[in-house]
Chain A
């Protein structure tokens, strides 16, 4: 049967981006390992990552990729932790590419070198995303918890472009780097990025623990957005094809984000130990999630308890249940609801209609009068503290 969008006159107004129309897991995120040489305090990884070190083998991963492709997955992200830590990465890339995936390597650049960039290319890697912590070397290295990180990232970003890959540069922005947004953009232009993700920090995992040290003020955000818009105009006028993506910060909104395009609609994350999640943060929820070692991906996606838990609208409570906006935002983020209200079936407190919205307002208020404290860095030692205390 022909797909309606695949007929008619040649035109460009086909479907942009990834659409949830088929309810297929179009996006498969493979978190290969939680090991990482850096220690970013904003990291969205789970606090107790050190408790999940029983990693899938090469063959187990390739079987996940095969089954994902059968379910319709087309984009495959290699992430983590730091995916470069896996010694079999080149093999995994080759297998994924052979299956027909568009393969994305999401990396801090630490552990990369010229030879690997070339080997990955040969194995069929399509795109590399390199993350930076800041445009300033000192701030970058302070956040990464590594003295060599910044120079290494610069070198690798240049290498990625020299070897002909499309390149995305990712900057997680927060109180400590957002005022340098102009320098961040200029660095990305200099490095010839194709896309720039100015990713306003999302407060999950370590980021949530460190939120009071990270959340920028409204004035900081508004300034950053204005400067980004000015650069967009200026760069477009110069004929520069670089695309600046400004990820909107939900803490300063009155309606939540349509999280993951809906629970179990487009995204499928497989974590290092094989636990499958509808989003990369969901592990924190008091919900039983399936493991690829125990069931097929088709069972996991279509039938498992965890993936059906928040599909549709039946699970909702008020104010979402009778709200006419529920098809737009699906009640927001389940993790945010759980973290801030203690009940994952509540409305995301970002929503102005939520009875818990004051928690967001309080976080905004305390961003105005920050108390200087210490970061809790994301590393094995600190992680063990979190899983012991559970």
Chain B
């Protein structure tokens, strides 16, 4: 089921994937049966804040705290969450 991403949606990592920091690749990765997706910096930082509890707006607030000057990122984060849901990496609760 595809849900439209909004600031109040709560994302969770899909059961198909495991998310972790991978030292040998020096980046966050998503692992799935016999495969690996390497995530770029921002994608990794966003997914690292998903815990199945936080809403997108809370994740945005944490990102702003962590990265000085991360203003106006709401649009980018929502767009990324929507893409990630379309790829089945995450699911979104309205």
Interfacial residues, chain A to chain B (CB-CB below 8 A): 1-3, 5-12, 14-19, 22, 24, 26-27, 71-72, 74-75, 77, 100, 102, 104, 126-127, 129, 164, 166, 168, 194-195, 241
A3-B27, A127-B33, A241-B88 in contact; A10/B22 too (CB < 8 A)? no
Interfacial residues, chain B to chain A (CB-CB below 8 A): 15-16, 18, 20, 22, 24-29, 31-44, 46, 76-77, 80, 83-84, 87-88
Asked whether, in the complex, the Cβ of B24 is within 8 Å of the Cβ of A17, the reply is no
Asked whether, in the complex, the Cβ of B39 is within 8 Å of the Cβ of A129, the reply is no
* In-complex Cβ contact of B24 among A8, A12, A72, A166 (8 A): A72
List chain A residues, Cβ under 8 A from B36.
Answer: 17-18, 26, 74-75, 102
* Cα–Cα, bound, A10→B59 (Å): 14
List chain B residues, Cβ under 8 A from A166.
Answer: 15-16, 32-33
List chain B residues, Cβ under 8 A from A18.
Answer: 35-36
Asked whether, in the complex, the Cβ of B76 is within 8 Å of the Cβ of A194, the reply is no
* In-complex Cβ contact of B26 among A1, A75, A100, A104 (8 A): A1
In whole Å, how far is B23's beta carbon from the nearest beta carbon of chain A?
8
Inter-chain contact count A-B, CB under 8 Å? 103
List chain B residues, Cβ under 8 A from A72.
Answer: 24-25
* In-complex Cβ contact of A194 among B16, B25, B40 (8 A): B16
16 CB < 8 A contacts A-B: A2-B41, A3-B26, A6-B41, A10-B80, A12-B80, A12-B83, A12-B87, A15-B37, A15-B38, A17-B36, A71-B24, A72-B25, A74-B31, A100-B22, A126-B31, A166-B15
List chain B residues, Cβ under 8 A from A16.
Answer: 35, 37
Asked whether, in the complex, the Cβ of B39 is within 8 Å of the Cβ of A14, the reply is yes
A6-B27, A10-B80 in contact; A126/B18 too (CB < 8 A)? yes
* Cα–Cα, bound, A7→B44 (Å): 9
* Cα–Cα, bound, A361→B36 (Å): 37
Asked whether, in the complex, the Cβ of B38 is within 8 Å of the Cβ of A6, the reply is yes
Asked whether, in the complex, the Cβ of B29 is within 8 Å of the Cβ of A10, the reply is no
Main secondary structure, interface of B, reads mixed
Asked whether, in the complex, the Cβ of A77 is within 8 Å of the Cβ of B34, the reply is yes
List chain A residues, Cβ under 8 A from B39.
Answer: 6, 14
* Cα–Cα, bound, A12→B88 (Å): 12
* Cα–Cα, bound, A5→B39 (Å): 7
Closest 3 CB pairs of A and B: A6-B27, A72-B24, A102-B31
Chain B: CB-nearest residue to A197: B34
Asked whether, in the complex, the Cβ of B15 is within 8 Å of the Cβ of A5, the reply is no
List chain A residues, Cβ under 8 A from B27.
Answer: 3, 5-6
List chain B residues, Cβ under 8 A from A19.
Answer: 38
* Cα–Cα, bound, A168→B34 (Å): 10
List chain B residues, Cβ under 8 A from A74.
Answer: 22, 24-25, 29, 31, 36
* In-complex Cβ contact of B42 among A2, A9, A27 (8 A): A9
Asked whether, in the complex, the Cβ of A10 is within 8 Å of the Cβ of B43, the reply is yes
Asked whether, in the complex, the Cβ of B40 is within 8 Å of the Cβ of A11, the reply is yes
* Cα–Cα, bound, A2→B25 (Å): 9
List chain B residues, Cβ under 8 A from A75.
Answer: 31, 34-36
A15-B37, A18-B36, A74-B31 in contact; A102/B18 too (CB < 8 A)? yes
List chain B residues, Cβ under 8 A from A168.
Answer: 33-34
* Cα–Cα, bound, A194→B80 (Å): 24
* Cα–Cα, bound, A344→B75 (Å): 56
Chain B: CB-nearest residue to A8: B40
Asked whether, in the complex, the Cβ of A8 is within 8 Å of the Cβ of B42, the reply is yes
Chain B: CB-nearest residue to A73: B24
Chain B: CB-nearest residue to A27: B34
In whole Å, how far is A299's beta carbon from the nearest beta carbon of chain B?
18
In whole Å, how far is A126's beta carbon from the nearest beta carbon of chain B?
6
List chain A residues, Cβ under 8 A from B32.
Answer: 102, 127, 166
* Cα–Cα, bound, A15→B35 (Å): 11
- With A2-B26, A10-B42, A10-B76 known, 17 other A-B pairs at CB within 8 A are A1-B26, A6-B38, A9-B40, A10-B43, A10-B46, A10-B80, A15-B37, A17-B35, A24-B24, A71-B24, A74-B22, A74-B24, A74-B25, A126-B33, A127-B34, A166-B33, A194-B16
Chain A: CB-nearest residue to B77: A10
